[in-house]
């Protein structure tokens, strides 16, 4: 179930650039946050609050950029050991380590969904999904959240996904896609 990121960001002072606990695809309950994951979260919040002031940015602006991502890697290195190649300069200098293209990671998402665009969206599923995804708690589902346009935005523009499989139960029940509509979606992409 998709949710527009700007709706999530508004009530929070900027989301962290990485999840700090196991997250769910809304088909299982995630495990609770571990003490180590909590420590990463606390370090990232503390360090980003300090660094954002130094740079004259809001914490939200800082976390949304490459410097915030570098800080997330540093926090994980602090807790879990030196797994990520990151330097402190990357947390305050936008040019410290520019992203290299093409990316070396190939992201193939084998389970994606959207609903038919000619009917009523089954938004009640969004509310049922809140226990699986804490970011959905308290967020009111809106028209368009589950439809093709937002699907394309979330899967292909707001992530590094390069290939995706439209999966699900081909059915006319609950306005999910039938097989012909899945093929049509594939052709549109």
Phi, psi (5° rounding) for residue 2?
-95, 150
Q: Which pLDDT does position 2 carry in this prediction?
A: 53
Look at residue 100 in the predicted model and tell me its pLDDT.
Answer: 47
pTM: 0.53
pLDDT of residue 43: 96
Q: What is the pLDDT along the chain (189 residues), one digit of tens a residue?
A: 555 555 554 555 557 888 999 888 777 888 899 999 999 999 999 999 999 999 998 898 899 888 899 999 999 999 999 999 888 888 888 676 665 445 677 888 888 877 666 666 677 777 777 777 777 777 888 888 877 888 888 888 878 888 988 876 656 665 567 777 778 878 888
pLDDT, position 75: 97
Asked whether the beta carbons of 130 and 137 are under 8 A apart, the reply is yes
Under DSSP, is residue 107 helix (H, G, I), strand (E, B) or coil?
Answer: strand
Tell me what pLDDT residue 83 has: 92
Give the span between the Cα atoms of 59 and 29, in whole angstroms.
Answer: 30
Q: How far apart are the first and last CA of the chain?
A: 19
- Minimal CA–CA distance to 3: which of 26, 20, 22, 19? 26
User: What is each CA distance from 153 to 9, 82, 87, 156, 159, in whole angstroms?
Assistant: 17, 34, 32, 6, 9
pLDDT number for residue 38: 96
């Amino acid at each position: 179930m998709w949710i527009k990121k700007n709706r999530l960001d508004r009530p929070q002072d900027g989301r962290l650039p990485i999840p700090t606990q196991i997250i769910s695809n809304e088909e299982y309950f995630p495990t609770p946050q571990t003490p180590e994951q909590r420590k990463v979260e606390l370090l990232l919040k503390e360090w980003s609050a300090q660094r954002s002031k130094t740079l004259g940015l809001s914490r939200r602006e800082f976390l949304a950029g490459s410097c915030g991502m570098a800080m997330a890697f540093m926090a994980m290195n602090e807790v879990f050991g030196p797994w990520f190649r990151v330097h402190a300069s990357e947390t305050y200098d936008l040019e410290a380590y520019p992203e290299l293209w093409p990316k070396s990671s190939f992201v193939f998402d084998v389970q994606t969904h959207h609903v038919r665009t000619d009917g009523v969206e089954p938004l009640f599923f969004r509310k049922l999904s809140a226990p699986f995804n804490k970011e959905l708690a308290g967020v009111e589902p809106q028209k368009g959240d589950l439809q093709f346009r937002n699907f394309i935005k979330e899967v292909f523009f707001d992530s590094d996904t390069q290939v995706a499989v439209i999966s699900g139960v081909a059915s006319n029940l609950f306005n999910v896609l039938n097989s012909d509509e899945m093929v049509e979606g594939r052709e549109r992409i």
